[in-house]
Structure 1
Amino acid sequence: MTTLKIVLTLIPFIWIVGMIPFVNTIYPMVLGLPFLAFWEVAGIFVACGCLKIIYNIDSKNDNEI
């Protein structure tokens, strides 16, 4: 389960920071935003989803409360 948490933690970082050099070369408009801005906003939603999954995994194993 620890490996899953590590992967879920790395996905938003790679999405937002690691992919910028590759995404910055694309110039279409998506939903009225330049593609790079759309990519960053989508990264926020991906990060929220990953954090929600990590929270659900950790709350199932929480026996202190």
Structure 2
Amino acid sequence: MKPFQFLAIVPCALMLIGPLVHNKLHPFILDMPFPLGWVTVWIVLTAATMAVVYAIDPANKGGDR
């Protein structure tokens, strides 16, 4: 596994750890209770992180064969 591929672990870990630490209904994130808002935000950030990992990966530069 290449070092930049470890970026994929960070959002997944933070998405799972956050609601365990902050299991409260208040404050609201985007008008949703905190656990639901936390997971929603991290789903979007995970997609953005995976797009960055895909763009950095040299294996994706070769094109179709």
Query: Normalization by structure 1: what TM-score?
Result: 0.75
Specify the alignment match of 2:55 in structure 1: 56
- Equivalent residue letter for 2:51: K
Over the matched positions of the two proteins, sequence identity in percent amounts to: 21
Question: What CA distance in whole angstroms lies between the structure 2 residues aligned with 1:18 and 1:31?
Answer: 20
Specify the alignment match of 1:44 in structure 2: 43
Q: CA RMSD in A?
A: 2.1
Specify the alignment match of 2:4 in structure 1: 4
Question: What CA distance in whole angstroms lies between the structure 2 residues aligned with 1:29 and 1:46?
Answer: 18
Deviation of 1:15 (Å): 1.7
Query: Normalization by structure 2: what TM-score?
Result: 0.75
Deviation of 1:62 (Å): 2.8
Deviation of 1:35 (Å): 1.1
Specify the alignment match of 1:20 in structure 2: 19
| Residue aligned with 1:14, SS | helix
Gaps of 5+ in 1: none
Please identify, of 47-56 and 15-24, the stretch whose mean Cα deviation from structure 2 is larger: 15-24
Asked whether 1:30 is paired with 2:19, we answer: no
Question: What CA distance in whole angstroms lies between the structure 1 residues aligned with 2:30 and 2:60?
Answer: 40
Gaps of 5+ in 2: none
Higher percent of residues as strand? 1
